[in-house]
Structure 1
Amino acid sequence: MSDTERVAHAATPLSKLIHTVDPARLSDPTPCAEFDIRALLNHLLFWGPSLVGAARKEAVTPPAAAESDIDLTAGDWAAALDAHLDALTTAWTDPAAWRGVTHMGGPTELPAPLVGGMVVGELIVHGWDLARAVGATPHWDDDLLRATYDETAATAEQGRQMGIYGPEVPVDGTAPLLDRILGLTGRDPSWP
């Protein structure tokens, strides 16, 4: 799978899940301890413009409002997330998105392939968070999961130091790739 296909493949299960979320369940917990479903959806919408901007080599600063200030009841959040995933997928299918350096929500330049890999990881991990919260089982292909595991393993300690990941959850080295990715990010793959 080429880099230009990775975001689209990572986004597909999340895109399918968006319309299965019952608005009455927005306060239900997710495997990410700091997010209920509402907060998880807010997180995706809040950071969406920065992730699209990163593909376009545009430094997009997140809004001054907090993630929690997004009002999911004020509009069609499913349509907003659909539009975000479409824009994200389109932006990262451009081969130029994966070359050189870019920014992700701040002034620091980062290698574009690193940022692209972070976007893929964000979609997979938060897609799994949402799926588990609504009782679904998402699926990503092994090539995508292998690349994501390798990238996550290489940056997991830095992610923990930055507060992006929680403490590693031990997962057997023979467990499925998705479970090993989740463990690296501080999630328990057997979360109910």
Structure 2
Amino acid sequence: MWEQTSAPAAGVALLERAIEYALGGLRVVTPATLCRPTPCAGWNVQRLLDHMADSLQTLNDAAGGHITPARAGVPRDRARDRTIPAPADVPPDHACDRTIPAPFGGLPGGNPALLLRDDATEVLGLWMGTLTGARLVSMAGHHLTSPMVAAVGAIEITVHGWDVARSCGEHHPVPPLLADELLDLAHLFVTAEDRPHRFGPRVKVPAHAPVQDRLLAYLGRDPNWPACP
């Protein structure tokens, strides 16, 4: 099994590559893009960034050996965020759910992309501390190895990094080597039970499609999803 044979260092290295890729796509996030729709049905960029922050917090917890299952409908701690009414000129189909983070600058909310970068730096620092051995991570009475958790985290962080960049009109392809490795892992870790809650139905693409397209399709994305104008 993958989780039994992979060294902790390999899991951390994979997670680091995934986070590096995802953060590279966040540079195009602006106040105007926060209300745009995303490949995640029903989610705008603001909500997707919040979800990515939740995922990083889960990885943060996992580095300590315990994951607290997310509670449906309970938002993350937004104590460091300040919100303002959504601009009146935002089209209805791009509307945020009543508020958007404050404009980037000196306000307390700051740039949510930079906040995620801070979160990611913290996560990687904690995961470096797991290199001494493949520890077990407890979740709802089940025990997972740390390389397995890192692999699942890398899949989610990567695909959401693509989601954000695509939603903001950025062409930010997943590096082929990373996409190839994640596709193999996705076949192991993403099952029918994960659909449609964590990932949408598999999208059909040609067998000879680029590995990024096959990864995205397996994770329920249309590789040609149209970016907002």
Q: Which TM class, normalised by the smaller chain length?
A: 0.7 to 0.9
Question: What is the rounded CA distance, in whole Å, between the counterparts of 1:93 and 1:176 in structure 2?
Answer: 32
Question: What is the rounded CA distance, in whole Å, between the counterparts of 2:70 and 2:194 in structure 1?
Answer: 21
Give how far 1:85 is off: 1.1
Aligned to 2:40: 32
Equivalences for residues 87-98 of structure 1 within 5 A: 87-96=122-131
Matched-pair contact (CA < 8 Å) for 1:4–1:93 = yes
Aligned to 1:108: 142
Aligned length: 191
Question: What is the rounded CA distance, in whole Å, between the counterparts of 2:10 and 2:119 in structure 1?
Answer: 22
Assess, with a 3 A threshold, how the Cα gap between structure 1 residues 95 and 38 changes in structure 2: closer, same or farther: same
Task: State whether structure 2 residue 225 is matched by structure 1 residue 185.
Answer: no
Aligned to 1:49: 57
Counterpart among 155, 160, 165 of residue 121 in structure 1: 155
Aligned to 1:157: 191
Q: Which has the higher contact order (CA 8 A, sep 6+)?
A: 2
Aligned partner of residue 109 in structure 1, secondary structure: strand
Question: What is the rounded CA distance, in whole Å, between the counterparts of 2:132 and 2:40 in structure 1?
Answer: 29
Aligned partner of residue 224 in structure 2, secondary structure: coil
Aligned partner of residue 19 in structure 1, secondary structure: helix
* Higher strand fraction (1 or 2): 2
Give the % identical residues.
Answer: 28
Q: Which amino acid letter does the alignment assign opposite residue 187 of structure 1?
A: R
**Structure 1 unaligned blocks of 5 or more:** none
Q: Which amino acid letter does the alignment assign opposite residue 63 of structure 2?
A: A
Task: State whether structure 2 residue 182 is matched by structure 1 residue 174.
Answer: no
Assess, with a 3 A threshold, how the Cα gap between structure 1 residues 161 and 132 changes in structure 2: closer, same or farther: closer
Question: What is the rounded CA distance, in whole Å, between the counterparts of 2:173 and 2:141 in structure 1?
Answer: 34
Question: What is the rounded CA distance, in whole Å, between the counterparts of 1:114 and 1:79 in structure 2?
Answer: 27
Assess, with a 3 A threshold, how the Cα gap between structure 1 residues 34 and 64 changes in structure 2: closer, same or farther: closer
* Higher helix fraction (1 or 2): 1
